[in-house]
Amino acid sequence: MTEGAYPQLEPEWVDEVLLAGADDQACLHLDQPITRAGLRRMVAERQRALTEAGLRRGGACALCLPPSVAFITNLLAAWRIGAQASLLDHRLTRYEVDTALARLRPQVVVTAEGSAAPLRGFADVTEQVCGYPGRPATTTHAVIQLSSGSTGPSKIIGRDAANLIEEVRRYTQIDGVPRGGERIVSLASMVHVLGLVGALLYGLHAGVKLTIPARMTADGIIGAVAADSLPTTLLGVPFHIELLASVPDPPKLPQLTGMTTGGELVRGDVYTAFTDRYGIRLGNMYGMTEVGVIATDLFGENRPAVMPAPGLTVREEAGELLVSLPESPYVGLADPARWADGWLHTKDAGTVDPRTGLVRILGRLDSQVSVGGLKVDLTEVEHTLATMPGVAAAVVVFDAAIEAYLVLDRGDRLPAVESEIATRLAGYKRPRRLNVVEQLPRTATGKLVRDRAVLREATPVAASGSAVSGADAGPG
């Protein structure tokens, strides 16, 4: 067997940091409560299944699973084997998954039969475990995630066990996070860093019961909170604040002590509407896949600023926020514009108050946008469209939703182009509207213009995707 890059820490870290605790403690609640003993038993079963499929210490697997008990148990099982787990969003298309696997080259791949139904907080998964012609882990990272790349391939981001443990322990030092014996109702996907570390790993470590609502509707969320009397924190993204704030007469929820959102800042009017209606604090968490939580304002006292988390330093250089990080998180990429000399470039514009240390985030310096809490790089979407057969040129812009302006080789190819987009891009990355134009506006030097007002003036050939234009528009 080929030697892998053995994980940095002995696999016992999983038992010590995440699985330790009383056997009968209910640590998770998805469709039903799961005790620590039950979780340990399920993890052991998954270890047997993954080992049978060829996963060993130093090996590499990929998990393409929706939020589910299966995601949790397979992830912990892979780590207990001492293997590296790459996490692929379950909404990625077949094409995107195949492309990712060809880059990551794991030895074992775990997928789910069928797809998760809309608005389900978690899925009931039957895993499919398959071998893949890959190789053992080439780094000591415990988890690998992919981030939207700006041009060409996405960045491969790795975090080792020590870094994950450091973040979990960092959470324990932040004033305002839920404590042992309390509960988190997480609306943030456990496949991405906020839900993964902030809810799942921190919850397991600190004895905070993690509940996922069965339905991500206003009723579903409120029902999940109301179902248990433990002091409860809601964790989500700004959309959930808008949704909950619009419930005209919510029931009294005395167990709800606060809510925290990650992603972009909640608008002032929505912030006020929510806090008035529910009578709880609304906090904010700023972080990145590369490092996890960076700064918080869990009581809303410093809004719109956030305070760096213990153990991290944030500084500003040339208008960009940098975060202290001893080693580069990027696998196979040495780009000083991303990480250099112990500093991670956030690509967020911002300021740091020299007196208080408070951080203000002012916007992106690149083309990344947040679509319902998920990060999408517009340049990646544009590059995908522009290099597709049948597309002569493309510009992608964002104005509350992703929108594309296209010049096609042939006017009648729009349905084929739409179909191809659906195979190449996960739903949340796809333009919500495709405007086919005769030609794209360019500057005097020939560069594409991205000004939305100018683009709207471009002579249309056809528009696809408008609800108002009729039932014939859009995918059938």
Q: Which of residues 96-155 bind other proteins (CB under 8 A)?
A: 117-120
Residue 162 C-beta: closest distance to other proteins, Å: 35
Pairwise CA distance, residues 72 & 75, whole Å: 5
Q: Which residues contact 474 (CB under 8 A, 6 or more apart)?
A: 464, 465, 466, 467
Choose, by CB under 8 A, the member of 37, 230, 243, 461 that binds other proteins.
243
Q: Indicate the DSSP class of residue 120.
A: B
Residue 108 C-beta: closest distance to other proteins, Å: 29
Q: Which of 144, 400, 394 is nearest to 267 (CA)?
A: 400
Choose, by CB under 8 A, the member of 41, 179, 410, 432 that binds other proteins.
432
What would you report as the CA-atom Rg of the chain, rounded to the nearest whole angstrom? 23
Pairwise CA distance, residues 341 & 359, whole Å: 21
Choose, by CB under 8 A, the member of 247, 253, 333, 393 that binds other proteins.
247
* Options 62-70, 210-218, 349-357, 387-395: segment touching other proteins (CB under 8 A): 210-218
Pairwise CA distance, residues 332 & 184, whole Å: 36
Q: Which of 26, 25, 29, 9 is nearest to 17 (CA)?
A: 9
User: What single letter denotes the amino acid at residue 198?
Assistant: G
Does 266 engage in binding with other proteins (CB under 8 A)? no
Cα end-to-end distance, the chain, whole Å: 50
CB nearer to other proteins: give 163 or 464.
464
Does 453 engage in binding with other proteins (CB under 8 A)? no
Does 401 engage in binding with other proteins (CB under 8 A)? yes
Q: Indicate the DSSP class of residue 396.
A: E
Does 242 engage in binding with other proteins (CB under 8 A)? yes
Q: How far is CA 468 from CA 406, 465, 474, in A?
A: 20, 9, 11
Choose, by CB under 8 A, the member of 151, 172, 173, 217 that binds other proteins.
217
Choose, by CB under 8 A, the member of 218, 227, 253, 270 that binds other proteins.
218
Does 474 engage in binding with other proteins (CB under 8 A)? yes
Residue 221 C-beta: closest distance to other proteins, Å: 9
Chain residues binding other proteins by CB under 8 A are 117-120, 216-219, 239, 242-243, 246-248, 371-372, 400-401, 427-428, 430, 432-433, 464-468, 471, 473-475
